[in-house]
């Protein structure tokens, strides 16, 4: 099998070196092209990449000259579209060690229109889950007990042979043509966070299937790009940079899909219907506008001239959606297909919880008409679903 590893990197050179060594040691008889994007690092990453390109004919690298960070949302796609040459590619992180036999497992299961995820073996930095194996082999390359890991894994791999489940997460291997068909990652989420959940939704809606192989694994030190990058935070403490960007990306994910990221216990996406929803907010308060704006396509607000400009000035830099189109005066014509009337004086947390589940509620119980829901009034004119219009970045609106 010929496969291209796709690895953006920013100021995590020691992990990148560790990942490179693991790939080269355990790639087996496969032709592996390693494609790295240096995102304006200051730790010698680019100098190391230049050395590797001279010594390893199957190592390729590009550099973002900065000073603005691009993030892996953008650099994944540059590597896939501009650098990788093999039909099959794998999204891979710099803090991963490729276990023996992983590429054999990918070759065993991968097909066009099918994505293969390797199972992650991780230290207990995150809660346990049925899709991964918790086993502590260290959180830094210098502490990784390679021989002990390989001895343990040889026994574990026999136990896991031929086991598969249905889910998708990094590292995930795919045919580049399937990735390019839907337009790749959405730059809405740049530099990072939620771009993976977005593209997984779009793959599933496009009919691509997912398989997780348990005999093919990586040891994953977790989140060394931004969330736990030791140059800006400590292990287990989320960086301020990551927290701020995660909030931005979460709000943009809700704007696009109408709900939070959802998946089953084994990490297969769960996608709620996307309806055309308008919120009629009988209040002129910025805090309510901030809370509710992402949860609809249009929000109609009282005291528009007093608060809309303030909110848009603050929030517009965080999204590519045109907020001046999404926020309208209270007395504008209401042309959304589902309207939700919210009285700010009686709006409660329970009502906000209803709004977060509104697509599922409408799908299960909705029909054209007008009815009370908590302290709110819902009017359903039509129940058209628009999630399939989000599949291809070239066509979604």
Distance CA 117, CA 120 (A): 9
Walk along the chain (397 residues) in steps of 10 and give the mean pLDDT of each run: 97 96 98 98 97 98 96 97 98 97 98 98 92 95 97 97 97 98 98 96 98 98 67 64 91 98 97 98 92 98 93 97 97 96 96 97 93 96 98 77
CB atoms within 10 A of CB 268: 18
Nearest to 66 by CA among 55, 75, 54, 77: 75
Neighbours of 120 (CB within 10 A): 22
What pLDDT is stored for residue 229 in this prediction?
Answer: 61
d(CA 88, CA 32): 10
- The 8 Å CB, 24+ separation contacts for 178-181 are 178/112, 178/113, 178/115, 178/203, 178/208, 179/80, 179/89, 180/80, 180/81, 181/206, 181/392
SS3 content of the chain, % helix, strand, coil (to 5): 40, 25, 40
Concatenating the DSSP letter of every residue in 153-181 gives HHHHHHHHTT-EE----SSEEEEHHHHHH
Query: Which tokens is 205 given?
Result: 């809606």
Decide if 173 contacts 107 (C-beta within 8 A). Answer: no
The total of other beta-carbon atoms located within 10 Å of residue 386's CB is: 15
Q: Which domains does the chain have, with CATH numbers?
A: 2-257 (3.90.550.10), 277-381 (no CATH)
In whole angstroms, give the CA distance from residue 133 to residue 116.
17
DSSP 369: E
What is the phi/psi pair of residue 343, to 5°?
-95, 110
> Quick one: CA dihedral 203, 206, 207, 208, positive or negative?
negative
The CA distances from residue 233 to 125, 207, 246, 269, in Å, are 14, 40, 16, 30
């Amino acid at each position: 099998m010929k496969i291209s590893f796709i690895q953006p990197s920013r100021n995590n050179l020691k992990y990148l070196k560790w990942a490179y060594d693991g790939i080269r040691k355990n790639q087996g008889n496969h032709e592996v092209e390693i494609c790295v994007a240096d995102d304006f690092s200051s730790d010698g990453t680019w100098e190391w990449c230049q050395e590797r390109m001279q010594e390893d004919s199957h190592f390729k690298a590009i550099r973002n000259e900065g000073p603005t960070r691009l993030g892996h949302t953008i650099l994944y796609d540059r590597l896939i579209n501009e650098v990788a040459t093999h039909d099959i590619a794998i999204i891979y992180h710099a803090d991963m060690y490729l276990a023996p036999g992983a590429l054999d497992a990918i070759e065993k299961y991968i097909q066009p229109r099918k994505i293969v995820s390797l199972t992650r073996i991780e230290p207990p930095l995150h809660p346990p889950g049925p899709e991964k194996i918790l086993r502590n082999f260290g959180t830094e390359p210098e502490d990784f007990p390679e021989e002990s890991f390989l001895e343990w894994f040889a026994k574990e791999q026999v136990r896991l042979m031929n086991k598969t489940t249905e889910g998708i997460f990094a590292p995930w291997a795919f045919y580049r043509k399937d990735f390019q068909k839907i337009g790749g990652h959405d730059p809405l989420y740049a530099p990072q966070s939620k771009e993976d959940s977005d593209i997984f939704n779009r793959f599933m809606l496009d009919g691509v299937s997912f398989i997780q192989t348990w005999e093919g694994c990586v040891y994953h030190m977790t989140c060394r790009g931004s969330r736990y990058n030791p140059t800006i935070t400590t292990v287990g403490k989320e960086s301020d940079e990551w927290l701020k960007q995660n909030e931005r990306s979460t709000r943009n994910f809700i704007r696009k899909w109408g709900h939070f990221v959802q998946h089953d216990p084994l990490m297969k996406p769960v996608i709620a219907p996307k309806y055309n929803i308008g919120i009629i907010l009988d209040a002129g308060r910025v805090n309510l506008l901030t809370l509710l704006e992402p949860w609809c396509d249009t929000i109609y607000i009282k005291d528009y001239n007093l608060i809309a400009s303030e909110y848009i000035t603050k929030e517009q830099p965080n999204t590519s959606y045109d907020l001046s189109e999404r926020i309208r005066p209270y007395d504008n014509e209401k042309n959304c297909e589902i309207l939700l009337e919210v009285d700010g004086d009686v709006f409660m947390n329970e009502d906000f919880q209803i709004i977060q589940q509104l697509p599922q509620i409408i799908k299960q119980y909705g029909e054209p008409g007008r009815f009370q829901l908590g302290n709110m009034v819902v009017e359903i004119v039509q129940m058209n679903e628009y999630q399939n219009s989000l599949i291809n970045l070239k066509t979604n609106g």
